[in-house]
Amino acid sequence: MLASKRILLGITGGIAAYKTTFLTRLLIKAGAEVRIVMTQSAGQFVSPLTLATLSKNEVLTDFIKEEEGSTNWNNHVELGLWADLMIIAPATANTLSKMASGTCDNLLLAVYLSAKCPVFFAPAMDLDMYRHPSTKSSIEKLQSFGNILIPAESGELASGLEGEGRMAEPETIVARIQEELSSRLPWRGKNVLITAGPTFEPIDPVRFIGNHSSGKMGFALAHEAAQRGAAVTLVTGPTSQETSHPGIQCLRVNTAQQMLDTALEHLEAADIVIGAAAVSDYRPATVADEKIKKSEDHLSLDLVKNPDIIHSLSKRRKPGQFFLGFALETEKEAEHARAKLSRKGLDAIVLNSLRDKGAGFGGDTNKISFIDKNSELTPFALKEKSEVARDILDEIDRRL
């Protein structure tokens, strides 16, 4: 959830500020980029140097910074626009009141008022302060603005009293943020089945019929679908591509028949089926048990047709499932792609041409056109395959 997210951490002046060192470390470990804005009083509880070291970014406390005779401005508007989300922890009673009233007397509050992203806040104070009607009013007002409360926990407080008011533990804060982000993902609850890579059809124990597919496009689609919250089943032929995304179940096969059999096992649960694999059209009728020795000038192989995987899957479709295929063409590209779309019973097909520079097998880029069952063709420029995956899933989204 937090990988590559840009997070602003706002720290205010309370004893719980010491926990932000652990919070920063957890966010960095989760793959986020963290920038920190502190109030002046927060620096009395936790060292800006420690936080700068952990976040690998300068910690900001003032609008103006002067160094070596020059004066620079910490632009609160740019900070607010930069962030994917903001966390204010600890959020003291003083800061909660200022946030609720719109008071803007320090850099952190200016950044908060400029933020266009979701804002999480984790209150921390003594139990009577937390129970006070003014504090409750501030919290309710902030929630009415759309800010997301991470409630204080019960336990021993700095005053020595026991009760509600402890800032949520860093692990709890990270879990709550991940839960909230997950609930906002557009494909949450969807199951996506993707085939990727080549298939290798054995001739003998050491030789095979295959192609140059790297699997990069299929893996990019799987990653993008998982980033949107989908549970992805990725059935891939032999490829060096790897994924560690927790939302992707990667199942490795070799032959077309293995790919079809594995995909069929997961077809019923799928909402979206994407056939991005470059399946070998033919396989040897028989596979030699031993390595075929070189003896003649010519070797003849008897080949039989492999199953058409995406067509085989689409023939078993349930109502509501969306099927997308791929067509790699070298001539009459759009005509051939539209014919495949109709023949295979698909909802849409992605067309690319080997005649387009930067498209096709092996590379990091692709140039596609998206054609739906109404024959509407949407062309795209040459892009990185990760961007192409976003374009493809956006087009699917528009038609779901």
Nearest to 45 by CA among 7, 11, 22, 91: 11
Tell whether residue 307 is among the known ligand binding residues: yes
Torsion of CA 89, 90, 93, 96, to 10 degrees: -10
Was 292 annotated as part of a binding site?
Answer: no
Q: Residues near 52 by Cβ (< 8 Å), separated by ≥ 6?
A: 36, 58, 59
Residue 357 annotated as binding site: no
Is 22 annotated to bind a ligand? Reply is no
SS3 (DSSP) at 251:
strand
Q: Which two tokens stand for residue 392?
A: 């493809």
- Known binder of ligand: residue 293? no
**What are 43's two structure tokens?**
């620096």
Residue 286 CA to residue 202 CA, distance in Å, equals 9
Q: Which of 57, 74, 75, 211 is catalytic?
A: 211
As a whole number of angstroms, the distance between CA 388 and CA 320 comes to 25
Please state, in angstroms and rounded to a whole number, the distance separating the CA atoms of residues 99 and 89. Answer: 13
Is 374 a residue of the active site?
A: no
Please check if 344 is assigned to a binding site: yes
Closest CA to 203 of 258, 133, 283, 144: 283
The CA distance from 354 to 352, in Å, is: 7
291 annotated to bind ligand? yes
Q: Supply the residues annotated as catalytic.
A: 211
Binding positions:
281, 291, 307-310, 326, 340, 344
Binding positions for CTP:
281, 291, 307-310, 326, 340, 344
